[in-house]
Structure 1
Amino acid sequence: MVLQDKLGRCVNYLRLSVTDRCNLRCMYCVTKDFTHIPHPDILRYEEMLRLIDLAASMNINKLRLTGGEPFARKGFMEFVSKIMARHGDMDLRITSNGTLIEPLIPELSRLGVKRLNISLDTLDRKTFEEVTGRDHLTDVLGTIEACIRAGIRVKVNAVAMKGINDRELGAFIDFARNNPIDMRFIEFMPMGDDTKSDSRFWSADDILAQASEFANLVPVKRTKENRGPARMYSIEGGQGRLGLISPVSSHFCGTCNRLRITSDGYLRTCLFSDHTYKLRGILRNPSLGDDTLKKVIAAATRDKPLGYHLLESRKGCEGVCGTQMSAIGG
């Protein structure tokens, strides 16, 4: 079975959130009214493995595990091990804040994990604490170094925020110049009830214009291995690359190939839409089998919307959707 929507877009990428818990409190992810999903509502690892098995049978060949912070959930490494044993040919990637995993890097490498996305919004210790609520910058930098030593490819993701990390652009470019990483800036997306977001917005085009003052950037031609949403640029004379992801100013909805499943078992076909499909009830109903799950996933995919239409209907400082990022999984 191949998952395809009414617009002809084929879906082969699943983002699965394993928890909404996190040891950080990033300003763009957790709002003041944040409450954790009740534990009984969180999918069990066995249920997630069942969904991954189904996804693989529906032509999903790329899987990203997200959170919250996935490494904060007990038993996560065993879960990764089971995925790799059952789906060794799947392109497995993990998104993490990088604060908990430096000692685990050798084991991740042994299991065959070849790629990690590390969130890092600043290289300044004081700003890091302001953004995340915690003083863990040295832990994140240590994780990145450990990944590089272990041969694990690292993409460093920074949420671009005016007035917060825009003054560090030169330092970030130097970081990419001196390390074999992809340093990617993601446009700030207003989520939930965040009403301060518009003043923080720093567009990808503005970042590119400013970045050109610090380095000679050469556009990277898109290939089969480079089909993601990021516009990539090599840094002349550098080891790493610069990437720009522009979900707000220059959408990539026409080539979107992903589905999201939240840690409490809701299927989302578009980050900018609050329309969801409840899979948890099906998973826990012994009278409903895998065929029912497949039918729901296929039907949801057929109706996958174009997110930019939803953005166009946004008013003032409204979020791009009503759900905060920590509950979605990014």
Structure 2
Amino acid sequence: MKDGFGREIDYMRISITDRCNLRCRYCMPEEISWVPMEEILTFEEIEVVVKEAATLGIKKIKVTGGEPLARIGCPTLVGMLKKVPGIEKVTLTTNGVFLSKYAEQLKEKGLDAVNISLDTLDEKRFEEITGRDELKAVLDGIETALELQIPVKINSVLQKGQNEKEWQALAELAHHKKLDVRFIEMMPIGYGKKFEPVYNEELLKKMEEKYGELKPDTRVHGNGPAIYYSVPGFEGSIGFISAIHGKFCKSCNRIRMTSTGDIKACLCFDESLSIKEALRAGDMEEVNHLLVLAISNKPVSHQFEQKEMITEQREMASIGG
């Protein structure tokens, strides 16, 4: 289905929990009030929404959180969504801590790819950023996924004064491993507003000083807005998701659903449509109508570059990564 500006909306990001086992400083505070489980959509309810979304042209699903693998049965949901007619790909975004435990189940259920959040390879700094000493578990998860031939992307967020000098160590993960490393500009949502981002245009210049001119990699790597480059001698590619200076709204193809059933068409604004009441009343016509409405009213662009225009006040953990 096309939105009001002619963009084909075929990708849906679905948060299945607001809970997480890490406490990344720009995402989630140490103390937080969890949403009661009865307010969170069941796997069966998520499946129903995806079936309706598929009739509107949604083909690709990203399962997110919080931390999706913190919810018991996540691989089962992946298998359920893979069986929905019209759904071509189901992928997962995770912090990687539980990945080695569940990777084989996810592979068996048909997971198409996994994105792993990793901002540093330094143990001490990892604990400073995430609040937990779990770097080894994340690295084990990456290796397990690669061994099972699950396509892997590393998502790294650089912060000035924190891990900005670690770009090379992170990029080097793609040197001898068949994975992509993507650098994501810090988005001014929730706690992210408090941190100064490292802009990707600056990072690209540093990479070219180190590796020489990077050639655009035009192969399809996934569902999102990353721009990829090939580095001579690297097995994987380097990607940039530049929400601020590389505004990609003209090609935005997604909507989001929070764990409580709120449909969001843009991260920047607080507008959302709740489908939970209609869903639990069994009113599929209304569920379909609300999905259509969310897609039709998708804004032309975000306004992250003008912080006073940002109306979304919730934290990323409650919206979905």
Pair in the same fold by TM > 0.5: yes
For residues 164-183 of structure 1, what are the structure 2 equivalents within 5 Å? 164-183=162-181
Q: Corresponding residue for 1:59?
A: 57
Structure 1 residue 95 displacement after superposition: 0.5
Whole-Å separation in 2 of the counterparts to 1:319 and 1:34: 23
Q: Corresponding residue for 2:319?
A: 328
Whole-Å separation in 1 of the counterparts to 2:271 and 2:172: 41
Per-residue CA deviations over 1:301-322 (Å, capped at 9, x if unaligned) read 11100233x335423xx86731
Structure 2: gaps spanning 5 or more residues: none
Q: Do the aligned partners of residues 298 and 101 (structure 1) sit closer, same or farther apart at CA in structure 2, a change above 3 Å counting? A: same
Quick one: which of 224, 240, 262 aligns to 1:244? 240
Q: Corresponding residue for 1:94?
A: 92
Whole-Å separation in 2 of the counterparts to 1:206 and 1:270: 26
Whole-Å separation in 2 of the counterparts to 1:244 and 1:195: 20
Structure 1 residue 292 displacement after superposition: 1.2
Per-residue CA deviations over 1:21-70 (Å, capped at 9, x if unaligned) read 01001111113663211222111111101001111111111000000111
The residue type equivalent to 1:314 in the other structure is: K
The count of aligned residue pairs is 321
Q: Corresponding residue for 1:311?
A: 304
Identity within the alignment, %: 36
Q: Secondary structure at the match of 2:155?
A: strand
**Contact 1:173/1:211 (8 A) holds in 2:** no
Quick one: which of 268, 271, 275 aligns to 2:271? 275
Matched, 1:301 2:299: no
Whole-Å separation in 2 of the counterparts to 1:146 and 1:24: 20
Q: Corresponding residue for 2:204?
A: 208
For residues 1-330 of structure 1, what are the structure 2 equivalents within 5 Å? 3-31=1-29, 34-87=32-85, 90-192=88-190, 196-197=194-195, 200-223=196-219, 228-286=224-282, 289-308=283-302, 310-315=303-308, 321-330=312-321
**Contact 2:255/2:264 (8 A) holds in 1:** yes
TM-score, scaled to structure 2: 0.94
**Contact 2:81/2:87 (8 A) holds in 1:** no
Q: Do the aligned partners of residues 32 and 89 (structure 1) sit closer, same or farther apart at CA in structure 2, a change above 3 Å counting? A: closer
Structure 1: gaps spanning 5 or more residues: none
**Contact 1:193/1:322 (8 A) holds in 2:** no
* Moved beyond 6 Å, runs of 4+: none
Whole-Å separation in 2 of the counterparts to 1:120 and 1:247: 18
**Contact 1:311/1:320 (8 A) holds in 2:** no
Q: Secondary structure at the match of 2:209?
A: coil
Q: What RMSD, in angstroms, separates the aligned Cα atoms of the two structures?
A: 1.9
**Contact 1:95/1:117 (8 A) holds in 2:** yes
**Contact 1:271/1:307 (8 A) holds in 2:** no
Structure 1 residue 103 displacement after superposition: 2.6
Q: Secondary structure at the match of 2:153?
A: strand
Per-residue CA deviations over 1:248-278 (Å, capped at 9, x if unaligned) read 1221011101000000110000011110101
Whole-Å separation in 2 of the counterparts to 1:119 and 1:173: 13
Whole-Å separation in 1 of the counterparts to 2:296 and 2:305: 22
**Contact 1:192/1:319 (8 A) holds in 2:** no
**Contact 1:259/1:268 (8 A) holds in 2:** yes
